[in-house]
Amino acid sequence: MILQKQNLRFRGKTLRFLVTFCSCTGFLLLGYDQGLMSTIVGADNRFGKDFNHPNSDVQGLLSSVYDLGCCLGSAMCYFVGEKAGRRWMMLTGGSTMIIGTIILATSFTRGQFYAGRIITGIGNGFNSSTIPVYQAECALAGNRGRMLTYQAVVTIAGVIIAYWVGYGTSFTDSPVQWRFPCSLQGLFALALVIELLTGILPETPRWLVTKKRYNEAQEVLAAILDEDLDSDIVLQEVQDIKTTVDNEAVGGEFRFGELFEISNGNLRRLILSCGIMIMQQFTGSNMINYYAPIVYQNTMNLTRNTSLILGGCCEIVYLIGAFIPVWTIDKYGRRTMLFISSAGLTVCFIAVSGLLSQERYATSVAASCFVFLYQLFMGVGWLNVWFFPAELNGTRLRSRVQAIASFVNWLSVFAVVQITPKAIDNIGWKTFVIFAILNFTWIPIVYCFYPETKGLELEDIDHLFDRGGFTGGVFTTRGHPIRPGERKKDIEAKGFADEKDHVSYAE
């Protein structure tokens, strides 16, 4: 079949651009789905009339049942993703979302709408579990952060499209008000499927090596680097990946229990991968992304139309913030950007809660300005943590842990999306206080436990926590338990290459 054979018509920068473009298409779709319900629910509009005016509990379920679908898709990806390969899982994800979109757009009952949301969620679970791994395994270490950051940028672009499409259709009282926004996501899913069916995108060299398809892995690496097939750089890189995979396979076939092994750091990696996803969701970002108009309307006493406009403009500011790491994340590192982001988020939500507690129009307007600033800080750091599991885990565990982390992420989104409407109804501005405290808490956690991965080759990942101890050497080394260019000890011992003379495509 078309995905079973490499069709490397493009090389070098062009090929890497195509890989990034495909990855971004998947995350544009993810972003669109995150913003889709924000302009549909929470108003006396055609959607409300067609679905019997859902209360805050039902509104939360209509939005968050999608996240349960994402959880299911991520769980399924854990079991079949490594066997099927990165491209097949993305193709399956896009195709599943097309089916879900058709069901959504033709809904006449809540049950059908729930089913459509769940099915699109399953497809997105496949994509969100696979795409970060695909991009990370095809990117160069020197600009891997930048390439992965593009995914975050287009995610917010998707949210913006959803907001303004929803705002545009809010002026009609026909079913177009909600059917058109629900249908549009199918266009992005179709684009992803077409990109994969063209056959121009390669499977990742690391996955090919795990399947002992060494010649194909060599061809892909040569194409990515735009080097000759038998060049020293390509041969060395294939050997490095093969050695890493061989060492990881010493224990035989993968066992579920390996994820919880302490001596080799697997449990630490699993906890860190899941932990950073939980922390991202409990920054309060999806309280804004899913319910911005409702937040403006109910906590700031603004009109529905004004709330919709502010929600759309707020996401534009979010997009501006998301662009900043494109130039800074590979220069200053992941940890620095998270520190800046957490501090900014904390200050913004403290200001919002204080201003809203005054219950005056002027202070509500000022609070909305801090929500805008919050989005800017969110884009700078915490938006970009999707790829951390791919960077923290070795080849043997990478796709599986990414799937588990994706599952935990969507479960956390479900919790936040379910809680938010009730919290806003019951405690109002105090909701922001809770998230401010949580954002402050993330700073020492990141400082003590999360290592800097800037510039590291994926084959260096196995040595991240070699120093041991409670923090794995992260605290004592100020986040740098291993530095870029340090090669694996077993590769060194076998004399494959001297550290300072070794050059690879990822450096």
Total-model pTM: 0.80
DSSP string, 388-411: HHHHHS-HHHHHHHHHHHHHHHHH
Asked if residue 61 belongs to a domain, the reply is yes
CA pair distance 238, 241, nearest whole angstrom: 5
SS (H, E, C) 287-342: HHHHHHHHHHHHHCCCCHHHHHHHHHHHHHHHHHHHHHHHHHHHHHCHHHHHHHHH
Taking the CB of residue 259, how many other CB atoms lie within 10 A of it? Answer: 16
User: Per-residue confidence of the chain (507 residues) as pLDDT tens digits?
Assistant: 455 555 677 888 888 889 889 888 988 988 898 788 877 876 677 887 888 877 767 777 887 788 889 999 999 998 888 888 899 999 999 999 999 999 999 988 888 999 999 999 999 999 988 998 888 888 876 677 777 788 888 888 998 898 889 888 888 888 888 899 999 999 999 999 998 888 788 988 888 988 889 999 899 989 988 888 888 888 888 888 888 788 777 777 778 888 898 888 889 999 999 999 999 999 988 777 666 666 677 666 677 778 778 878 888 898 899 889 888 888 888 899 999 999 999 999 999 888 888 877 788 778 888 888 999 999 999 988 877 888 888 778 888 898 899 899 888 988 887 787 778 778 878 888 999 999 999 999 999 999 988 877 766 777 888 888 888 889 988 888 887 766 544 455 555 444 444 444 333
How many folded domains does the chain comprise?
1
Tell me which residue of 161, 17, 192, 28 sits closest to 96, measured CA to CA: 192
CA pair distance 251, 257, nearest whole angstrom: 12
What pLDDT, on a 0 to 100 scale, did the predictor assign at position 490? 47
Asked if residue 231 belongs to a domain, the reply is no
Q: Which helix (H) or strand (E) holds 87?
A: helix 86-105
CA pair distance 233, 225, nearest whole angstrom: 9
CA dihedral 393, 395, 401, 403 (to 10 degrees): 130
Tell me which residue of 346, 334, 342 sits closest to 450, measured CA to CA: 334
Domain residues for the domain of 84 are: 8-205+260-449
Asked if residue 457 belongs to a domain, the reply is no
| Amino acid in position 194 | I
Q: What is the CA radius of gyration of the chain?
A: 23
Residues 6+ apart with CB under 8 A from 332: none
24: CATH: 1.20.1250.20
Query: What is the length of the chain?
Result: 507
Asked if residue 433 belongs to a domain, the reply is yes
Asked if residue 389 belongs to a domain, the reply is yes
Token duo for residue 324: 């900043």
Secondary structure letter of residue 44 according to DSSP: S
Secondary structure letter of residue 425 according to DSSP: H
Asked if residue 416 belongs to a domain, the reply is yes
Say which residue the tokens 């287009």 belong to: 154
What pLDDT, on a 0 to 100 scale, did the predictor assign at position 171? 85
Sign of CA dihedral 68, 167, 57, 47: negative
Say which residue the tokens 């009282």 belong to: 173
Say which residue the tokens 């319910």 belong to: 291
Sign of CA dihedral 214, 217, 219, 225: negative
Asked if residue 288 belongs to a domain, the reply is yes
Secondary structure letter of residue 6 according to DSSP: -
Asked if residue 321 belongs to a domain, the reply is yes
Is residue 99 helix, strand or coil?
helix
